[in-house]
Amino acid sequence: MPSPPIAGKKRGFVVPIGGAEDKMHARVIHERFLKLSGKGEARIVIIPTASRLKDTGERYAALYKELGAGEAFHLPILRRSDCEKPEYLNLLETATGVFLTGGNQLRLTTIMGGTTLARNLRRLNAQGVHVAGTSAGAGFLSEHMIAGGSAGATPTQSGVILAPGLGLTNAVVIDQHFRQRDRLGRLLTALSYNPFAIGMGLDEDTAAFLGPNGVFEVVGSGGVTVVDPSTLEYSSMASAAPGQPVSLVGLKLHILTNGARFDTKSREAKIAG
């Protein structure tokens, strides 16, 4: 579950991005996140832990400085002990926006999971700090994280690997690079295990700005595939053998593009305009 709300404060936005977001031209997703975080007064903390590239944190910090952030810096968290360093924890407390880069989401769970830094990040989001993540960083934001699985459009028994995520929201299960890597089947498999959460499949260069009211807006050049299992009538998951396709009857599916909104509480979609 997300950290409990703080009296008198609104939760920060949770912003999963489908990966490969525009960092060279219009940069609408990063511009939107920076504006949300305070623009010229923003303090953006980059967490590049998912990436094995040494310059990932520096490149994102430079991007946000170029866009006009008041301050932008990265925390080089490479091992679990780094998540307990007072200097990193103190810097995190000053953030108005936190950005988790792409890479391997299991690096995020194995390095950050259960640490003081992860707990503090959950608390800060409950206090109003906005948190975004791209690619692996996006998958890590939710309570249940897709850690791997099979490509293809058909759900299969054992077709997805799930792991605990950061838990900033339990309303959605997130998958990224969605259309580009043909990941509908593994998202459907994740939902078939327990059709409580909403499936959110993010195309590349596309983000969902999920606000404290439970409504998210689509921003970017691609689409967000929303799978609502609340009307599910039948699932064969319990009787399917490993690797077999799974029947799902009664799902509701939406494809939402830039400017469209979805209310995760009422399960209502509204197109732009």
Task: Phi first, then psi: give them for residue 89, nearest 5 degrees.
Answer: -65, -40
Task: Find residue 146's DSSP bridge partners.
Answer: 162
Q: Would strands 206-210 and 198-202 be described as parallel, antiparallel, or unpaired?
A: unpaired
The one catalytic residue among 21, 144, 177, 192: 177
The one catalytic residue among 30, 74, 130, 135: 135
CA quadruple 59, 63, 66, 68: dihedral sign: negative
3-state secondary structure 109-156: HHHHCCCHHHHHHHHHHHCCCEEEEECHHHHCCECEEEEEECCCCCCE
Q: Is 204 a known active-site residue?
A: yes
Side chain identity at residue 100, one-letter code: L
Q: Is 177 a known active-site residue?
A: yes
Q: Which residues of 77-114 are buried (b: 16+ CB within 10 A; e: fewer)?
A: beeeebbeeeebeebbeebbbbbbbbbbbbbbbebbbe
CA quadruple 124, 126, 128, 131: dihedral sign: positive
Query: Which residue, among 217, 225, 180, has the nearest Cα to 199 in the 3D structure?
Result: 225
Extract the tokens encoding 71: 């301050």
The owner of tokens 């995190």 is: 92
Axis crossing angle, helix 28-36 with helix 56-67, rounded to the nearest 10: 70
The one catalytic residue among 21, 143, 204, 217: 204
Catalytic residue IDs: 135, 177, 204
